[in-house]
Amino acid sequence: MIGRLNHVAIAVPDLDAASAQYKNTLGANVGAPQDEPDHGVTVVFIELPNTKIELLYPLGDNSPIAGFLEKNPAGGIHHICYEVDDILAARDKLKAEGARVLGSGEPKIGAHGKPVLFLHPKDFNGCLVELEQV
119's CB contacts (< 8 A; 6+ apart) are 94, 99, 100, 101, 102, 128, 129, 130, 131
Q: Residue 54 to residues 79, 93, 127: CA-CA distances in angstroms? A: 9, 27, 16
123's CB contacts (< 8 A; 6+ apart) are 98, 99, 100
Among this protein's residues, is 130 annotated catalytic?
A: yes
Catalytic residue, chosen from 54, 83, 130, 132, is 130
Q: Residue 48 to residues 7, 8, 23, 133: CA-CA distances in angstroms? A: 10, 11, 12, 20
Catalytic residue numbers read: 130
